[in-house]
Amino acid sequence: MEQFFIKLSIMLVPGLMAITCHEVSHGYIADKFGDNTARYQGRLTLNPLKHLDILGTLMVFVIGIGWAKPVPVNFNNLRHPKRDMIWVAAAGPITNFLLATASALAMRGVIAATENIADGTLAAAIVDPVTLMLAFSVYINLLLGIFNLIPVPPLDGGRVAVGLLPYGPSSALARLEPYGMIIIIALVFFTNAFNYVIAPALSFGVHLLAGPYAKIVFGVTRLMMR
């Protein structure tokens, strides 16, 4: 039980922020491009309770990745539906990559500013959890951003592809959406897609952003996933 609360204290805030900001960004860009569905439904807010999906939140603690309730977007309301869909869909992963970058910079700054603090002091008791939270934020945001770029709808990468492709291939890909999650589950759990595609991209992103502190990011992730 104690281990659970330790994990909760480190993972909860970064996890909720990652999935909440991801969803809000979709609604915000859609609102700017003519669809105010999310605004009318009160979903343009950073209050995580408005976006919380219980199962999706639990999955953050179980498998290290989760989801929120999708922000509603009516693509037919967009001023240029096919083109604007690209930006609405891309907003989620872009937001996660920006959060990962900000978290990595903050983590580097905290470590550099507190490297001479002795273990066991009050300052260390405050700084160490903050560092771990920032490290986990780097990981979870990169993972969400990369995972959502898989080009299968309803993931964001699939919707970006639908917007970019010519009409014929675009329509064929869009028709996969009702079966998209089945395809994604099959790819992730029954193929080596994670090991050969997602994991290398994630490792590259962590090393790029965290630099010499990449081991902290991977270390806290392994600890949290036990």
Question: Which sequence positions are flagged as catalytic?
Answer: 23
The answer to whether 193 touches 199, Cβ cutoff 8 Å, is: no
What CA–CA distance (Å, rounded) separates 186 from 203? 22
Query: Which H helix or E strand runs over 73?
Result: none
Query: Quick check: bond before 154 cis, omega within 30?
Result: yes
Structure tokens at 9: 């204290």
- For 161, residues 6+ apart whose C-beta sits below 8 A from its C-beta are 151, 153, 170, 173
What CA–CA distance (Å, rounded) separates 145 from 130? 22
The dihedral built from the CA positions of residue 170, 171, 174 and 176, taken in this order, carries a sign that is: negative
The answer to whether 155 touches 184, Cβ cutoff 8 Å, is: yes
